[in-house]
Amino acid sequence: MSDGRGINACEESHDLGLSSFPEERQNIDIGQQIFCNSAVNMNSIVAVGFDMDYTLAQYKPETFESLAYYGTVEKLVRNLGYPKELLEWSFDWTYMVRGLVLDKKRGNILKMDRHKYVKIAYHGFRLLSKDEKVATYGNTFIKDAFDGPDYAHIDTFFSLAESYLFAQLVDYKDNNPGQISEVKDYSRIYADVRSAVDMCHRDGTLKEMVAKDPKKYVLFYYIYDFWYKESSIWLTLCNSLLQARP
């Protein structure tokens, strides 16, 4: 259980050099260290489970997210009838960040503070003025919950490419009347993007490319032995095409 001091407690622990394995910690870069407010006796733990993505497998965003982006565009054009012009688009993997919220109904991307006050809002890639923002999302005293079906949270690395593509499609629909069916509003466009992403995962589009050249897409494989024992046994369950290597 947390002692309520949050990050300050972590900083104090680091400053004082407190560690269960001080001799090991001295050689670990601070970016690779793990901080916590409580201790767990691992002697009573039988198994530890990880989701492989961005834990044991660290992806290179400049290549992996680009692969996901172009695969999604391909599905939108070939399977869902979007204009072939989309195939000429490019992707900036540094543009989106986690923590943003998509307003699927209005085609907006929002940045909020901890109190859910919208500080910055874009329609596609167009910055909304203060008056537009307040007229749409109210002020500090009148706020939306931002957790209903009309919103999507960008809370994983996998969301970055599809969010960028959604913003591009919002701009494209606004600036090219008739190129995207009028029956497809912003919410429908977002649903199509999500459907195209799912197609890429279901038919192996992403897995096959990663399996052909893992070093191009995966930064490193990282397995941390919590028990510090050579006799520890690891069992990896994976639905990907990557082959285990000694």
Residues 135-179 pLDDT 10s: 998 865 555 678 889 999 998 888 999 999 999 999 999 999 999
Tell whether 79 and 183 lie within a shared domain. yes
53 is catalytic: yes
Higher-scoring residue by pLDDT: 132, 144: 132
- pLDDT band of 219, cuts 50, 70, 90: confident
Higher-scoring residue by pLDDT: 50, 205: 205
Tell whether 35 and 111 lie within a shared domain. no
pLDDT at 46 over 90: no
- pLDDT band of 227, cuts 50, 70, 90: very low
Which of these is catalytic: 53, 144, 171, 174? 53
Instruction: Please give the pLDDT value at position 105.
Output: 95
Backbone angles phi, psi at 234, to 5 degrees: -115, 130
- The number of folded domains in the chain is 2
Segments of 124-232 assigned E as strands: 126-127, 151-153, 218-221
Tell whether 203 and 107 lie within a shared domain. yes
174 is catalytic: no
pLDDT at 246 over 60: no
Residues with Cβ within 8 Å of 228's Cβ and at least 6 positions away in sequence, in order, are: 21
Tell whether 127 and 162 lie within a shared domain. yes
Tell whether 1 and 100 lie within a shared domain. no
Instruction: Please give the pLDDT value at position 238.
Output: 56
Nearest to 185 by CA among 169, 163, 197: 169
For residues 135 and 139, what is the distance between their CA atoms, to the nearest angstrom? 8
72 lies in some domain: yes
For residues 108 and 147, what is the distance between their CA atoms, to the nearest angstrom? 15
- The single-letter DSSP state of residue 131 is H
**Percent of the chain having pLDDT more than 70?**
70
Which of these is catalytic: 15, 29, 51, 113? 51
Backbone angles phi, psi at 242, to 5 degrees: -70, 135
Domain that holds residue 26: 1-39
- The single-letter DSSP state of residue 140 is T
222 lies in some domain: no
Amino acid letter, 226 = F
